[in-house]
Amino acid sequence: MSDRLKALADAGVSIWLDDLSRERIATGNLAALVEDKSVVGVTTNPTIFASAIADGERYDDQVRGLVADGADVDRAIFELTTEDVRNACDVLGQVAAATEHDGRVSIEVEPALARDTDGTIASARALWAAVDRPNTLIKIPATAEGIPAITAAISEGISVNVTLIFSTDRYREVMEAYLVGLERARAAGRDISGIRSVASFFVSRVDTEIDKRLEKIGSDEALELRGKAAVANARLAYAAFQEVFSGDRWDSLAADGARVQRPLWASTGVKNPDYPDTLYVTDLVVANTVNTMPEKTLDAFADHGEVTGDQVSGRAAEAQRVFDALDAVGVDLPDVFVVLEDEGVEKFAVSWNELTETVQQQLDNAAG
């Protein structure tokens, strides 16, 4: 087992792999990552599935069966992806049984539903029922329309990975949605101890957008702030997490078995080659969090990552000074977060289109 990854896990960071394929499952690669690299969860997205299906012969038999059954592309996507997630959940089943929070595999609702509350709720129900594993997480975007869908899903006992969170203001709405969902579930007589949730706070994209604006401003003060916003943003988010999951309201839920909704650091692959390739892992080490990494980042940390203790707790004031400095040089932070959310929704939609085209091609090939 990688000593560096074990040190990261020992520091309280759950290591999740941001990738999945039928090849990984069938060859035992995923199980080996669990055994050798401290991987205790998996996240997916349409791009990951498109790549896996385009390159993997292990889907061929199921595709031929879907063609014979007259399945259209939407049904084929649903069947192919839920099969992979179900099998990955089984690989991670022992982890889920042995830990309070981990062993989870995420699958997201169709991105076209990001602005559709009712559609998101219906999709979450369908995915939850189809995968039919308690260690599944249904990914719901943290749009204004997604917030009530999160509450509805949690209230029905559906575990949720809230995705596309960029600002602490929206993050607070996400945590409130989770708490209200738990309260409604409890009021309905549900056992809330089985409900799990993570809140996926996107990291690298914040630096990408803000660095671009800082370079356009061009002053020495502005340029000095490059590469500092994303980590500061995450540190502010963690302070909000500590605040919300404490006090009488949370204690009442916890007494009935509720589990905290852990922050998950997403988009942790470094986009700027000038930055250390483990930046968004090393600088965000803190207990009670998840870091979901593409395999490239996972391997980089295994090779040369460093764990030097808690890098997040008690640093909210320092992080706020970074944000105050960004505001002072002219970065419109509210606009940054609006742009990032809109771009995030659009990127998910583009990824879904890519997945649709890939699966349609597979169906066409199988049909001859």
SS3 content of the chain, % helix, strand, coil (to 5): 60, 10, 25
Residue 67 phi, psi dihedral angles, 5° rounding: -60, -45
| 35, 15 Cβ separation under 8 angstroms | no
Tokens encoding 144? 């204004």
Residue 266's closest CA among 331, 348, 338? 348
The interaxial angle of helices 73-91 and 29-36, nearest 10 deg, is: 40
Q: What is the DSSP string of 127-174?
A: HHHHH--TTEEEEEE-STTHHHHHHHHHHTT--EEEEEE-SHHHHHHH
If you count them, how many residues does the chain have?
368
SS3 203: coil
**Cα–Cα distance for residue pair 207/29, rounded to 1 Å:** 32
The secondary structure element, H or E, covering residue 86 is helix 73-91
Question: Side-chain half-sphere of 129: how many Cα atoms within 13 Å?
Answer: 7
Four-point Cα dihedral 335, 337, 340, 346, nearest 10: -90
Q: Which amino acid is at 11?
A: A
Known catalytic residue: 139? yes
Strands 160-165 and 39-42: unpaired
CA pair distance 198, 115, nearest whole angstrom: 20
Assess contact for 305 and 8: CB atoms under 8 A: yes
Choosing from 6, 37, 139, 347, the catalytic residue is: 139
Residue written as tokens 């969170």? 165
* Kind and range of the H or E run holding 17: strand 13-17
Residues noted as catalytic: 139
